[in-house]
């Protein structure tokens, strides 16, 4: 999987580099409003709800002497150059922090990157994170977040990466996430999400990585998915309750590198159109109810011979029978 991720990262880096040129111009439209006091108060309020900071990462977050009051120099805090005093990045990743996250985070309205991944923060994701209109990257993965995914996240129209995997999130995937027309990574794996994937999310033309593995999702995939996700590079739906056929249109998702449908209830033949996927590297279909009992059913094996990068092909625990041609 690691090697596969490297391939997908390379493909994605190439794709993302097309859009990178104009990414920073957005800042010119941010209205000038430097209210340093407000951002500092929000950070201090955030710190109050952190109950454990074993590495002392937040020790610098205090105002008891004038040099420390320069909160732009606090650990994990980056301020804007254009808009002095406005926090644009907050990165507290991997600090073993425990506690809830304060809703005052929603007041840091210039934030572009919020990375609280790999901690032990509990409690719900505050809905007012949805007011961080400039946010492009939101990493809350590998924590102990509970409750539902707030639908307000659908308001962050600039969001490009939404990573909430490895938490204890419940409920359905909100329709509103379909409003995130710039999202290219949507990683919600290893939660307890149920229901179906809102159709609108499967129509995100910029989506490159969709990882919804290890949840309780249950639906039939739309037959045109290969057309509605033209940029998809990695599609991981393992360990869920997807059923019905694997859509043949996936053969038209021309930059697909990883397709992981392990441990679901897919039925029917493996579509031989998958052989059209030039960059396919990782195809994992085991533990389903896929069938092959005649030449037609086995056609896909020949077709996959065209995939010159294919390294991982896993098909065990299905209803594949007879002689492999
Ligand atoms: C800055 O924010 C603080 C706290 O929200 C507020 O009391 C103060 O009036 C604001 N100052 C300006 C100049 O907007
Ligand atoms: C955050 O903004 C809300 C609404 O404007 C305000 O009531 C609250 O006091 C702010 N919190 C902080 C810590 O500045
Ligand atoms: C600085 O403030 C923090 C809390 O804001 C407090 O825990 C710490 O003891 C203070 N340090 C000094 C030297 O006063
Ligand atoms: C002020 O804060 C800085 C950074 O936290 C620390 O290195 C310094 O010792 C503090 N000075 C006093 C007088 O507390
Ligand atoms: C946050 O910081 C960690 C450690 O420095 C780094 O590995 C990670 O890439 C940063 N996150 C973002 C979104 O830049
Ligand atoms: C994580 O959440 C679960 C369920 O809410 C709770 O029992 C557990 O104590 C939490 N762990 C931490 C480290 O907060
Ligand atoms: C989205 O933002 C608009 C405008 O600020 C607001 O009226 C609406 O309540 C927000 N929706 C959600 C779900 O937060
Ligand atoms: C998402 O878009 C729909 C339709 O335009 C709208 O009704 C809904 O309020 C939007 N949600 C958010 C969170 O902005
Ligand atoms: C793939 O796209 C081509 C061209 O648009 C179309 O002719 C073909 O039927 C599609 N294949 C599938 C399996 O959807
Ligand atoms: C895709 O695969 C199907 C089935 O193997 C084949 O009929 C079709 O011609 C292929 N399309 C392209 C564009 O290679």
- Ligand 7 center–CA 117 separation, angstroms: 25
User: What's the pLDDT at 296?
Assistant: 85
Q: Is the dihedral of CA 139, 142, 145, 150 positive or negative?
A: positive
Residue 165 has pLDDT above 60, yes or no: yes
The CA dihedral of 2, 245, 315, 291, to the nearest 10 degrees, is: 180
Structural domain contains residue 291: no
Average pLDDT over every residue of 293-302? 87
Residue 23 has pLDDT above 70, yes or no: no
User: What's the pLDDT at 67?
Assistant: 62
Residue 18 has pLDDT above 70, yes or no: no
**Given its phi and psi angles, is residue 78 left (phi above 0), alpha (psi -120 to 50 degrees) or beta?**
beta
Query: In this predicted model, which residue has the larger pLDDT, 79 or 64?
Result: 79
Structural domain contains residue 97: yes
Average pLDDT over every residue of 276-304? 92
Q: Read off the pLDDT of residues 195-231 as tens digits, 9 standing for 90 and up.
A: 999 999 999 999 999 999 999 999 999 999 999 999 9
Structural domain contains residue 93: yes
Q: Read off the pLDDT of residues 36-51 as tens digits, 9 standing for 90 and up.
A: 688 999 999 999 999 9
Structural domain contains residue 102: yes
Structural domain contains residue 252: no
Q: What angle do CA 11, 230, 115 make, to 5 degrees?
A: 55
Size of the chain in residues:
325
User: What's the pLDDT at 112?
Assistant: 98
Domain count, the chain: 1
CA–CA separation, 149 and 125 (whole Å): 7
CATH number at residue 176: 3.80.10.10
Structural domain contains residue 160: yes
The CA dihedral of 222, 226, 232, 233, to the nearest 10 degrees, is: 120
pTM > 0.75: yes
User: What's the pLDDT at 2?
Assistant: 54
| Residue among 251, 253, 297 to mutate when testing ligand 10 (max atoms within 8 A of CB) | 251
Range of the domain at 161: 22-183
Structural domain contains residue 171: yes
Ligand at shortest distance from the CA of 121: 6
- Ligand 10 center–CA 276 separation, angstroms: 6
The first and second tokens of residue 266, run together, are 């897919």
CA–CA separation, 294 and 124 (whole Å): 51
- Ligand 4 center–CA 68 separation, angstroms: 7
Burial call 163-186: b when 16+ CB within 10 Å, e when fewer: bbbbbebeeebbebbbbbeebbbb
Structural domain contains residue 286: no
CA–CA separation, 250 and 173 (whole Å): 22
User: What's the pLDDT at 33?
Assistant: 42
Atom 10 of ligand 2, residue of closest alpha carbon: 104
């Amino acid at each position: 999987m690691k090697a596969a991720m490297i391939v997908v990262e390379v493909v994605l880096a190439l794709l993302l580099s097309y859009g990178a040129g104009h990414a920073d111009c957005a800042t010119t439209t941010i209205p000038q409003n430097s209210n340093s006091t407000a951002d500092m108060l929000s950070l201090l309020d955030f710190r109050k709800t952190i109950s454990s900071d074993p590495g002392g990462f937040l020790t610098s977050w205090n105002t008891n002497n004038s040099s420390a009051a320069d909160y732009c120099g606090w650990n994990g805090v980056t301020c804007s150059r254009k808009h002095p005093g406005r926090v644009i990045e907050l990165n507290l990743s991997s600090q073993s922090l425990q506690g809830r996250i304060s809703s005052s985070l929603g007041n840091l309205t210039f934030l572009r990157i919020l990375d609280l991944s790999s901690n032990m923060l509990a409690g719900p994701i505050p809905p007012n994170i949805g007011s961080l209109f400039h946010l492009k990257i939101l990493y809350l993965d590998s924590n102990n977040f509970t409750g539902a995914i707030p639908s307000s996240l659908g308001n962050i129209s600039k969001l490009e990466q939404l990573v909430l995997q490895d938490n204890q999130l419940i409920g359905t995937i909100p329709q509103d996430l379909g409003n995130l027309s710039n999202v290219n990574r949507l990683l919600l794996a290893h939660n307890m999400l149920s229901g179906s994937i809102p159709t609108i999310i499967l129509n995100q033309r910029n989506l490159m990585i969709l990882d919804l593995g290890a949840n309780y999702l249950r639906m039939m995939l739309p037959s045109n998915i290969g057309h509605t996700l033209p940029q998809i590079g990695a599609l991981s739906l393992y360990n869920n309750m997807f059923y019905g056929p694997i859509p043949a249109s996936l053969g038209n998702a021309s930059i697909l590198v990883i397709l992981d449908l392990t441990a679901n209830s897919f039925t029917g033949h493996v579509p031989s159109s998958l052989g059209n996927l030039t960059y396919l590297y990782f195809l994992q279909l085991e533990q389903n109810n896929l069938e092959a009992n005649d030449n037609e059913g086995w056609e896909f094996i020949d077709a996959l011979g065209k995939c010159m990068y294919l390294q991982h092909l896993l098909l065990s625990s299905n209803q594949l029978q007879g002689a492999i041609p």
